[in-house]
Amino acid sequence: MGPPTPLGLRAAPHNVTNLAQTPLAERLRSLVDTVQHNERTLRRFQSVELRLIGAQDFASFLDTLFGQLPREFSLAGVTLWLDDRAPMLRELLEPVALRALDQPRLRTSREGGLAAQGLCEDGRPWLGTPRELDDTVRRAFFGDAEQVPASAILLPLASGDTVGGYLWLGSDDAARFAQGMATDILERFASIVTASLDNVAHRERLKQLGMTDSLTGLANRRYFDERLREEVMRAVRYRMPVACLFIDIDSFKRINDTYGHQTGDRALAAVAACVRQQVRLGDTVARYGGEEFAALLQGDRADALTVAERVRLAVERLALQDDHGERIALTVSIGVAARMVSGTPTEAAMLGGAIIEEADRAMYQAKRNGRNRIEALVNASGDHTAG
């Protein structure tokens, strides 16, 4: 058998000479054992990922990372370093909040960030023996020398070109994490951790600032406007497009008048859940007012149109029923706007409002053109749409 990967996956037998001398039944049994072992390992890994993605608060996120992950994969320990300067993490990483969490494996020191940055050159993971690192690096992540694992991997937590944290996985097995090993699965896991952390930070901020809509569970307009400002600034900094969907339930007054306000509320909640399911983790969806929803996406016009069509089709297929079990047809009209944002921060902030206005006008155009459709203004004023 080949050596284990850092994840614990087994490689298929690779010694051709030995294989040729091994009876066929034994070779097949060995291959089947390898496949079954790897399937079990990947299922355990998926279980950890799903818990991270579904974490409702920072405490449960950390419990999965520091509790379930090392138990599932026999790790000596997990250490997480986060940059407390990242906008979405400021509320999570205030000194009072950190003390309340009582998580010694969660670190935010500047020394830790500099040490990790020096190890992960070009944003690549580092694997090796922590005991061979200098004292400053060891203390930044592991504290006292006796707590240092025999081998470890350091994974950058990156969103685009920005690294907001680092994840250490340690093992008592000196051969578990060694230079030259394949790290693609663990790098994918790091991206899941990054997206989940961003999602948890959004949820925590919603709780702290009272920015949720009680009926749908989505963010409200106040929160959406704040996120739009942040995303526009980020788009300017990294020269990325930003897109917005404006979504309105068609003939909603008729639903309320015909079936009653309780059924109307169920329709709002169903559409809200539907929209949330069709966008990516990290995108922002809000109830903007009444029967209107807004979604803030990372991508260009082509990306936004693709998402909009997924939303339109999913709502059209909803099986909402009235009090007698009869299906109530639901459709939405969607306006799309997308821009490559440039200029000064002040100009960019103004453009954020223009994107919302453009998506709103496009939505009303979809209404005029027959409902249950998507529109994007072709000749929007000052349009610099990408795609």
Contact (CB, 8 A) for 334 and 245: yes
For 199, the token pair is: 């999602």
- Across the beta sheet with 284-289, the strand order is 284-289, 292-298, 241-249, 332-340, 374-376
Please, what is the angle between helix 221-238 and helix 184-209, to 10°? 140
List the Cα angle 169/172/175 in 5-degree steps: 85
Q: 291 an active-site residue?
A: yes
Q: How far apart are CA 373 and CA 331, in angstroms?
A: 9
Secondary structure (DSSP) of 27-58: HHHHHHHHHHHHHHHHHHHHHHHHHHHT--SH
Judge residue 254's burial from the number of C-beta atoms within 10 Å of its C-beta, 0-12 exposed, 13-18 middle, 19 or more buried: exposed
Q: Are strands 374-376 and 332-340 parallel, antiparallel or unpaired?
A: parallel
Q: Which of 291, 292, 347, 357 is catalytic?
A: 291
**Is residue 20 helix, strand or coil?**
helix
Q: Which residues are catalytic?
A: 291
